[in-house]
Chain A
Amino acid sequence: MKPAAFEYIVPDSLEQALSILQEHGEEAKILAGGQSLVPAMNFRMLQPTLLVDLNKLEELDHIRRNEAGDLLVGAMTRHRRLEFDNLVAQYAPLLHESIPSIAHPQIRNRGTLGGSLVHADPAAELPVIALAVDAQIKVQSIGGERTIPSVEFFQGMFTTDINPDEILVEVAIPESSARTGWAFKEIARRAGDYAMMGIAVRITLDEDGVCEKACLVYLNAGDGPMEAVEAAKILEGQPRDDQAFEAAAEKASQDEIDPLGNMHANVDFQRHLANVLTLRALDLAFQRADVDRGENL
């Protein structure tokens, strides 16, 4: 349970970090919070020959808004900071609601947004949230930068659209339109454990309370964050209605997700949990959107 030997560099600037990656390619691994990478190295599942530690790059640890109203979060922003930040609570409430479910406080003190997104564990909360809020993911290399929509960024189990010479630098979360409601729900055996099933929901109502747009994304429900597109279509065009909720929950939990089952929950139980959590999340999200609608009437 000790990591294999490696060389270690802690760059002072993003530029230096990028040129090291450019030079060393796949041999190098980025070290962010270390909360997924170091366990894998301790088990010797990973044996990188060079670690590039981003922990001194303060330019990657920020939370601010741009003129368009997007919330910009630096890749090295730790979960703990997200949990208590007022801008996150106000402008990214779905993200805010999910953070206490990520691991234990000791892990949240180190783990970072960028690390969690690049690690892309199908059971992780942040990739699901990124998809539900349509986060735009900015990656940079010596050659320049790319902005990748979340739906394209996640490409399956522990796989993303990022190259070995690129660093995820920032995530942009667009401002919600009016009359938007959200909810994050998950069920874990114990606070902080990876959940057996979880869902993030975001819906937008029109002025009469009819659903204009819905987005449902599930965690631990397949080989990545799993979006239930058909279930969303069932809800769109409908007002708050139990029958529509039940039809959407049935569609998503039976047809659209593809849970793998594990030691704590078999596939049937995971589908059952998805169904129940969908109903609870939709109910809360519609209530919140209605409150927002009331305020804006």
Chain B
Amino acid sequence: MKKTLHPIKITVNGIESTHAVEPRLLLSDFLRQDMELTGTHVGCEHGVCGACTVLLDGEAVRSCLTFAVQIDGHQITTVEGLGSNPDELHPLQQAFWDAHGLQCGFCTAGILMTIIPFLEANPHPSEEKIREALSGNLCRCTGYQNIVDAVKLAAERGVGQPNPDD
């Protein structure tokens, strides 16, 4: 089949750019290969593991179940859009650091991108709610306990509450 490229204009982590993509290119591969944003991980490519979770117009979605061509005109936030370097972690990342909420880190980007909108919608979540929010993200290392603790710590520190500077 001949390759038809489609032009797309997108905003990733606040920066607008234009690209030409093949329809079959998954958003996950577009981010990793075309944008060189390899913080978004790919575990299963059928929606089960959650490693590829990114924000689409502020909502957590699976980037492996969305085609890049569909993102034309939309905004994407990846883990690179949180803290930009080890000295400037986002408060949610800092909480994961402090509570040892990761081991190998493969699942972490997807979990952070899941928890950002979750805490915005539920700034004071119960442990049960936290576990439910994490149910779509697999972690093969931690046994989840420290991830739950990290989310609790982040909530205690006010992540998700409206920023007075905004």
Closest Cβ of chain B to A47, distance in Å, is 10
Closest Cβ of chain B to A108, distance in Å, is 9
Q: What secondary structure prevails in chain B residues at the interface with A?
A: mixed
Tell whether, in the assembled complex, residue A191 and residue B66 are in contact, meaning their CB atoms are under 8 Å apart. no
Using A1-B45, A5-B3, A8-B69 as known contacts, say yes or no to A107 and B62 having CB atoms under 8 A apart.
yes
- Contact indicator per residue, chain B 127-156, by CB within 8 Å of chain A (1) or not (0): 000011101100000000000000000000
Residues of B within 8 A of A110 (CB): 61-62, 65-66
Complex Cα–Cα for A78 and B148 (A)? 28
Tell whether, in the assembled complex, residue A2 and residue B50 are in contact, meaning their CB atoms are under 8 Å apart. no
Tell whether, in the assembled complex, residue A4 and residue B24 are in contact, meaning their CB atoms are under 8 Å apart. yes
Tell whether, in the assembled complex, residue B136 and residue A107 are in contact, meaning their CB atoms are under 8 Å apart. yes
Number of interface residues of A (CB under 8 A): 32
Q: When the two chains form the complex, which single residue of A2, A105, A107 contacts B24, counting CB atoms closer than 8 Å?
A: A2
A residues 192-228 touching B (CB-CB < 8 Å): 192-193
Number of interface residues of B (CB under 8 A): 32
Q: What secondary structure prevails in chain A residues at the interface with B?
A: loop
By beta carbon, the residue of chain A nearest B22 is A5
Say yes or no for B95: interface residue by CB 8 A criterion: no
Q: When the two chains form the complex, which single residue of B1, B59, B60, B132 contacts A5, counting CB atoms closer than 8 Å?
A: B1
A residues 32-74 touching B (CB-CB < 8 Å): 34-35, 38-39, 42-43, 49, 51, 53, 55
- Contact indicator per residue, chain A 1-28, by CB within 8 Å of chain B (1) or not (0): 1111111101000000000000000000
Given A8-B6, A191-B131, 5 more contacts at CB 8 Å? A5-B3, A5-B24, A104-B50, A106-B136, A109-B56
